[in-house]
Amino acid sequence: MTNSLYSHLECVQCGTHFNKYTLQNYCHTCIQPLVARYHLHNRIGKEIIRNTTNSMWRYQALLPLLNSDNIVSLGEGWTPLFPLHKSGKNLGVDHLFLKEEGGNPTGSFKARGIGLAVSKAKELNVHKFCIPTAGNAGSALSAYAAAMNGEAFIYMPEATPMVFHLDCEIMGAKVNKVRGSIRDAGIAMMQDNKDGKWWDVTTLKEPFRLEGKKTMGFEIAEQLNWELPDVIIYPTGGGTGLIGIWKAFEEMKEMGWVDHIPTRMVAVQTKGCNPVVRAFEAGLDHCDLYENPEETIANGLRVPKAFGDKLIMKTLKESHGTAFDVTEEEIIASIKEFGRTEGVFLSPEGAAVYSGLKKLIENGFIQKSDKVVIINTGSPYKYVENMYGILKN
């Protein structure tokens, strides 16, 4: 067993509590996400961290798994956070860091959320899963389902690079290609899953991927000696990581691990699909559907409407953050610039973040003395099919 402080699930809209011992997805009354809550108070010490475990499971006491025997792990989490001295000097920022998520299993941060969701599914005796994906989430679900002897049914846009399709099939998943965006893939999946024969692990339509993603927040804090950064810039499609990091910071404050939260959260999107940016600029608490999203090399950012859009907007508002969009040209230029400066090949989503960083410095949102963390959410090598001809020009 584990000493998990997990208490219950709660609807973010109406506050209704849901039983932690039965399988849950979202609040069907409000059509809003459920979030995990814990028995927290300001006398909980950091000794609950399993310091000998170099994975996200070092924070197991603050995760919703009740029995450690149900952990399905491929070594996810505890990724590097390292200073970017050259880029910081070039851009005029004294304390600039990169959180490198590309070394996770299946090459992206999706391993955190999917790893936890599949572990919780095992605990609840669930073995069949479905998901719409722009690529990385499908790869992760296929891998973790295989690791727990489960089945995965993957729905992805036709434009998704073939390596993701291959990745899923190698792991034994059933892959369905759908014309259109990830939203269209989700619609097709729901049609095939009308009888609920598969557990739908669509972003924020279940409560556990968020908990895996929040471990990035715990790691960033611990790796910075519990001094939270002033700014975190995050590539935002479904927004689970953005929301999760902020949730982790709030939980740390409740436990007394930090005195206050200085962090401003920033969402970065592409010009061709920017529902969060539009909503932020309009002062809305939700996002409208972005019609006809443009193709992009940053597949993970082509999300016309996130299910957790209200949580994204709430996070930006509470953190006094902002939202920015960048062009394809800026993403391509940033991949080249960052590689030649830092020796790191960014994913297109990570390059979007770096492009956003430069804009935020230019407009004064980021000051010279700020401590800034940018996040590269995945490995670039799974995008080579998209990038090769473009980057050679």
DSSP 209-261: HHHHHHHHHHHHHHHTTT---SEEEEE-SS-HHHHHHHHHHHHHHHHTSSS--
pLDDT band with cut points at 50, 70 and 90 for residue 368: very high
Element (H, E) at 322: strand 322-326
**Which residue reads 């999706």 in tokens?**
110
Per-residue pLDDT, 385: 79
Helix (H, G, I), strand (E, B) or coil at 372: strand
Q: Is 187 exposed, middle or buried (0-12, 13-18, 19+ CB in 10 A)?
A: middle
327-357 residue pLDDT tens = 999 999 999 999 999 999 999 999 999 999 9
Q: Cα–Cα–Cα angle for 100, 104, 106, nearest 5°?
A: 130
Helix (H, G, I), strand (E, B) or coil at 49: coil
Question: Average per-residue pLDDT in the chain?
Answer: 95
As a whole number of angstroms, the distance between CA 140 and CA 159 comes to 19
- As separate numbers, helices (DSSP H) first and strands (DSSP E) second, the chain gives 12, 14
80-137 residue pLDDT tens = 999 999 999 999 999 999 999 999 999 999 999 999 999 999 999 999 999 999 889 9
Helix (H, G, I), strand (E, B) or coil at 64: coil
As a whole number of angstroms, the distance between CA 95 and CA 84 comes to 8
CA separation (Å) from 298 to 8, 134, 256, 330?
A: 35, 9, 38, 12
Position 297: which residue type? Answer: I
Phi then psi for residue 63, to 5 deg, are -125, 160
pLDDT of 366 strictly over 90: yes
Whether 70 contacts 210, CB under 8 Å: no
Phi then psi for residue 48, to 5 deg, are -70, -15
Whether 40 contacts 255, CB under 8 Å: yes
As a whole number of angstroms, the distance between CA 367 and CA 92 comes to 8
Structural domains of the chain, with CATH: 81-108+207-392 (3.40.50.1100)
Q: CA Rg, the chain, in Å?
A: 19
pLDDT band with cut points at 50, 70 and 90 for residue 392: low
pLDDT band with cut points at 50, 70 and 90 for residue 372: very high
The neighbour count for residue 226, using CB atoms within 10 Å, is 12
Question: Closest Cα partner for 9 from 36, 40, 38, 33?
Answer: 36
pLDDT of 1 strictly over 60: no
DSSP 187: H
pLDDT band with cut points at 50, 70 and 90 for residue 393: low
189-222 residue pLDDT tens = 999 999 999 999 999 999 999 999 999 999 999 9
> What percent of the chain is predicted at pLDDT more than 70?
98
Q: Is 180 exposed, middle or buried (0-12, 13-18, 19+ CB in 10 A)?
A: middle
pLDDT band with cut points at 50, 70 and 90 for residue 389: low
140-155 residue pLDDT tens = 999 999 999 999 999 9
Region 59-75 average pLDDT: 96
**Which residue reads 């990581």 in tokens?**
241
DSSP 344: -
Position 29: which residue type? Answer: T
Question: Closest Cα partner for 286 from 309, 306, 302?
Answer: 309
As a whole number of angstroms, the distance between CA 124 and CA 116 comes to 12
Whether 130 contacts 193, CB under 8 Å: yes
- Beta pairing partners, 376: 100
Whether 42 contacts 251, CB under 8 Å: no
pLDDT of 2 strictly over 80: no
Per-residue pLDDT, 52: 93
Question: Closest Cα partner for 109 from 364, 313, 353?
Answer: 353
